[in-house]
Amino acid sequence: MADVVKRVSRKGRGRRRNAPMSEINVTPFVDVMLVLLVIFMVAAPLMTAGVPVNLPKTAATAVPSEQEEPLVISIPAEGAITLMNTPVADDEVIGRLSAILQERQTDKIFLRADGAIPYARVVQVMGALNAAGYTNIVLVTDTGGPRLDR
């Protein structure tokens, strides 16, 4: 009886060696996905870096995100105007922004100004934004600032 069991089990093993494998090996797939995850985790913060601006702190809440990539105009500490990541001369700001507004679905623009910039410069840029047709201006700040109700 033991001989019969041994013969059957040997035959079964022999068939498995020659039979096609029906399972999917997911280990290489998981390895590739983990590598991509690490790459994106490292690269994502680098993609948001733009013009270095020391934003003032406030207790305001975050603005809901949009479908379109937000249009950002920045005023760093030295006072030059930067549209997205491109420096723009003062006399070209209204012309460029008007042309961009014709191609966009919304008139929302984000204004990032360094805390050391004089208020007059910020208002001057806001006036240029208004002259270019932007009426929905969002002032970007850092959270965690002082609150007036405390």
Residues 97 and 138 in one domain: yes
| Alpha-carbon gap, residue 41 to 57, rounded angstroms | 26
> What pTM value is reported for the model?
0.56
Same domain, 43 and 70: no
Residues 38 and 18 in one domain: yes
| Residue-range definition of the domain harbouring residue 130 | 57-143
Q: Which pLDDT score is estimated for 35? A: 93
Residue-wise pLDDT tens for the chain (150 aa)? 555 555 555 555 555 567 777 788 888 899 999 999 999 888 877 665 556 666 666 666 666 665 667 788 999 888 888 888 888 988 888 898 888 888 888 888 888 888 888 888 888 998 998 888 888 888 887 777 777 776
Q: What is the pLDDT of residue 38?
A: 92
9, 82: one domain: no
Tell whether 64 and 135 lie within a shared domain: yes
Q: In terms of C-beta density within 10 A (0-12 exposed, 13-18 middle, 19 or more buried), how is residue 85 classed?
A: exposed
Residue 44 confidence (pLDDT): 78
